[in-house]
């Protein structure tokens, strides 16, 4: 058995996953309130369950922090709701135009797509592809993605020069990148 979900009192459902890489049990609370435990080889799932029960106050504290962070970063669109592609197109392109005008960028065409793994991309013709799910993110992360793609119209790679220029516009690009990567 590779994984199992067990409901733990005071915590809720917890995903226990067998991990060949884990050397010790590891609890993580992910955005959305998902609790995951990496269980190394040689450790029984019942032992892992007792481990989480012993650490339930730590888990509760982090679940509460996730909920308050989610409320603080209210998204532009409801995370659970359907996304209207037309609404996403209008909102994202309007903001892209504002940022491009404010910082002197030019770009080709804009395409709004329902992508699985990318928030955005920029082609060699300076066409910008944006994931319609961007609309679900907080405004500051939308701006980060849009500016990231606009900087790619000038610098085609992720060199030190790229990150320095992006930092001029967003201030803390690496921190925003980490925050964006925390979204499911």
- Our count of domains for the chain comes to 2
Residue 17: strand pairing partners: 3, 38
For residue 142, the domain's CATH number is 3.30.2010.10
Give the ranges where the chain is alpha helix by DSSP (H): 45-54, 56-72, 85-103, 139-152, 160-170, 173-181
Q: What dihedral angle (degrees, nearest 10) is formed by the CA atoms of 108, 146, 134, 60?
A: 160
| Domain carrying residue 62 | 3-72
pTM: 0.58
Is the pLDDT reported for residue 35 higher than 50? Answer: yes
d(Cα 184, Cα 151) in Å, to the nearest integer? 24
- Residue 82: pLDDT band (50, 70, 90) is low
On whether both 29 and 96 belong to a single domain, the answer is: no
The CA-CA-CA angle for residues 113, 164, 75, to 5°, reads: 40
On whether both 175 and 131 belong to a single domain, the answer is: yes
Count Cα atoms within 13 angstroms, Cβ side, for 183.
20
Residue 18 in domain: yes
Is the pLDDT reported for residue 78 higher than 50? Answer: no
Q: What is the pLDDT of residue 79?
A: 46
């Amino acid at each position: 058995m590779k994984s199992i979900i067990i409901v733990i009192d005071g915590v809720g459902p917890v995903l226990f996953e067998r991990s060949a890489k884990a050397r010790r049990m590891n609890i993580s609370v992910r955005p959305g309130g998902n609790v995951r435990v990496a269980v190394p080889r040689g450790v029984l799932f019942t032992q892992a369950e007792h481990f989480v029960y012993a650490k339930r106050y730590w888990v509760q504290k982090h679940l509460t922090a996730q909920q308050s962070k989610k409320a603080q970063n209210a998204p532009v669109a409801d995370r659970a709701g359907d996304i209207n592609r037309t609404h996403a197109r209008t909102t994202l392109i309007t903001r892209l135009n504002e940022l491009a005008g404010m910082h002197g960028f030019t770009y080709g065409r804009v395409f709004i797509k329902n992508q699985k793994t990318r928030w955005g991309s920029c082609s060699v013709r300076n066409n910008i592809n944006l994931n319609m799910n961007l609309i679900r993110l907080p405004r500051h992360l939308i701006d980060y993605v849009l500016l990231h793609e606009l900087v790619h119209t000038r610098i085609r790679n992720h060199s030190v020069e790229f990150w320095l220029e992006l930092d001029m516009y967003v201030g803390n690009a690496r921190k925003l990148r980490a925050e964006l990567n925390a979204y499911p």
